[in-house]
Amino acid sequence: MPIDETETGAPNLPIGWRFKVGIVLFALALVPYGLLAPVVFYKLPLATVATLVGAGVMLQKVIFVGAVAVLGKSGFATLKKKLFAKLAPADEVGPVRYRIGLVMFMLPILQGLVETYASHAAPHLVADRLWVDVAMDIILIASVFVLGKNFCDKIRAIFVPEAYAVLPEDKSVGHPAAGNAGRTGGRRT
């Protein structure tokens, strides 16, 4: 009987106790961060805070590695597939959604440029910068999901020296790139 394999090459095993324990361990790996956040705000000596934070980070890493070990290759691939399939941006988006996404993407960049100079010209306009910066960061992250996966590939291609742009051909009537398909009876329409 052939064994079904995932794209990672690991056999597709039934989801059993190992998968459930792995999910619990992943959830427990986040607990140290929640416990360490308030410690920073207490009036404790710096050495104590550093020791607690270091121990918490190491504990988180140990729990995370344990979760991966319990899940195994196929369990981790299944978990990743279930989690990130819902979080991944859409593959294709329409022209209106793409334009909205571009505005959302460019707005934080332009705000950062303007804010730099506005702080010198009119400091009272940028007095409450933290909330504006947080809002712009959220808009920038949301724009990636609005723009879709193809946009993420375009951004990734910027950092690949061998990548080059392939622009879609204009299929309008009579356009030179359309060839004979754009001509009717020797006349342009």
pLDDT in tens, 60-81: 888 888 888 888 888 877 877 7
Q: What pLDDT does 12 receive?
A: 52
C-beta of residue 146 within 8 angstroms of C-beta of residue 93? yes
Residue 13 pLDDT greater than 60, yes or no: no
- Helices 31-41, 46-87: axis angle to 10 degrees equals 140
C-beta of residue 76 within 8 angstroms of C-beta of residue 21? no
What is the pLDDT averaged over residues 1-9? 48
Buried-exposed string 157-186: b where 16+ CB fall within 10 A, e elsewhere:
eeeeeeeeeeeeeeeeeeeeeeeeebeeee
Environment class of 75 (CB within 10 Å of its CB; exposed 0-12, middle 13-18, buried 19+): buried
Whole-structure pTM value: 0.50
Closest CA to 95 of 168, 147, 154, 49: 147
C-beta of residue 172 within 8 angstroms of C-beta of residue 178? yes
Average per-residue pLDDT in the chain?
76
Torsion of CA 57, 61, 66, 71, to 10 degrees: 120
- Which residue do the tokens 């070990």 mark? 69
Measured CA to CA, the distance from residue 182 to residue 177 in angstroms comes to 9
In the structure encoding, which two tokens stand for residue 11, read together?
A: 């056999």
Of the chain, the percentage scoring pLDDT greater than 70 comes to 78
